[in-house]
Structure 1
């Protein structure tokens, strides 16, 4: 039975989609069957893997116009990686979900039947705490929170943690924090080391040991529609995410 993990942070530009793409691809390369769910209207996780953002997507599942099996795409370059794509249409889901009975659990109803088919289902959430992100939290077993090693990184984290706590209390008692992932790390910067130190001190074992360093190859890869591992396997970013995948899999061994 697969585990559903939401990647969430309402602050944009923290490396959330980069993490979703590269963690999913790295785990697939390591032999795990992975489904990446793009729950962001920007559809960057979809386009970043070279897939079409103009076809049917998760919005059609939410509105009942299509079943996931009709929409799920196979990643052309990574054998064990599937994608439930997104499109700009997902913007309308915020309104649609208000009108659907038990709308907060819509995504759970869509993903729950898929769990036996995958080892891991990763949900790339939008940089907001709207109804679609709430749906992702309700559907998930845990939340992975990327934290950039920059000024204001910890600002707003309290709001996200309160949302997770509220979701756990009222809608999803089994929801746990998978961990905090330090991203965009530059060891030359005093501030980056300070933020990393604060996260580790405050969250202890919940902080992943693997740190994602700032790397130009990670930024370039999506424009070629590839995960960093296939764009430049020897790059620092590729190695970081491969190490993260190994740590993640080891942590989740029963």
Structure 2
């Protein structure tokens, strides 16, 4: 199956923490379900989305499931569910993993009270012990190595192809696969980038964060060159865009200090900056405390309504950029 016939895989990355990676990942997936898809997206049905939590902090898993359900599934049950950690370890052990039947949590992402879920969003959860998986991959040197690419068995490039090989079995079942990456460039992040068609950079409008965007862009460009040199089958991972988050407004316009940084980013990255930003407000934190997306509180709080409207616009732009 050609890659163009499959769902788009997008890594959401930034080396800096606290910029809204999980918030953007979660709300784009949910935002696609909140649109009038036939009118605003030109689609015949709601997009099918797979969320993959690749961060050992497990924030996306908790945001989608709630902390109690997440802990119950991963710790408290007699037989805890497999997580992304098990994907990597089992694949390196014997070259197999049935992701569709063994790990994907189908229709578990919470929508609102009392127990509503989104029917078109599935989840691959993370695990706190994923922090050790990077070391496991680095030290892996068993023979024979997993036969991901038979012509590359004499190299270590297979360590970056694990996630790509596993996702191939489900890519045709989803319109979008969104990967919430950790704030570093370890093996997990590089696996995500190898498997991705695009990468998306959330950021806040401050000096340090804007410097970090160029570092991310340069790192991905270097990885693209290395991966293309190692494998003829590799497809370049392209920048989908930069989403500005936590913008403070005065009279519904960004405050001057942030506006100046936004202008600098637009001059530097041109059309790569999303035209819609996400505002600062208590809507998302209130909703996150209950493990709901901000849309669940739109009818109760003005900030939630405003943030929800902006996230719809970001979701529409996300779809257009993927095309």
Coarse TM-score class (shorter-chain normalised): over 0.9
Contact 1:151/1:191 (8 A) holds in 2? no
Equivalent of residue 98 in structure 2, options 67, 72, 79: 67
CA distance in 2, matches of 1:60, 1:218: 31
SS in 2 for 1:11: coil
Contact 2:287/2:297 (8 A) holds in 1? yes
1:8 Cα deviation after fit? 0.3
Alignment of 1:1-254 (within 5 A): 1-30=6-35, 31-51=46-66, 52-53=70-71, 54=74, 55-64=81-90, 67-69=98-100, 70-73=102-105, 74=107, 75-76=109-110, 77-98=117-138, 99=140, 101=145, 102-171=158-227, 172-188=234-250, 189-232=255-298, 235-253=305-323
Contact 2:54/2:188 (8 A) holds in 1? yes
Unaligned runs of 5+ residues in structure 2 are 1-5, 36-45, 75-80, 92-96, 111-116, 146-157, 228-233
Contact 1:50/1:224 (8 A) holds in 2? no
CA deviation profile, 1:107-139 (whole Å, cap 9, x unmatched): 111212211000000000011111111111111
Contact 1:29/1:80 (8 A) holds in 2? no
CA deviation profile, 1:151-187 (whole Å, cap 9, x unmatched): 3121222321121011111114421000011111113
Unaligned runs of 5+ residues in structure 1 are none
Alignment TM-score, normalising by the size of structure 2: 0.74
1:23 Cα deviation after fit? 0.6
CA distance in 2, matches of 1:218, 1:151: 24
Report the more deviating stretch, 123-132 or 243-252. 243-252
SS in 2 for 1:49: helix
Question: Residue in 1 aligned with 2:78?
Answer: none
Report the more deviating stretch, 64-73 or 217-226. 64-73
Alignment TM-score, normalising by the size of structure 1: 0.93
Structure ID, larger Rg? 2
Report the more deviating stretch, 208-217 or 71-80. 71-80
| Moved segments of 4+, more than 6 Å | none
CA distance in 1, matches of 2:195, 2:10: 9
SS in 2 for 1:37: strand
CA distance in 2, matches of 1:11, 1:220: 23
Contact 1:94/1:131 (8 A) holds in 2? yes
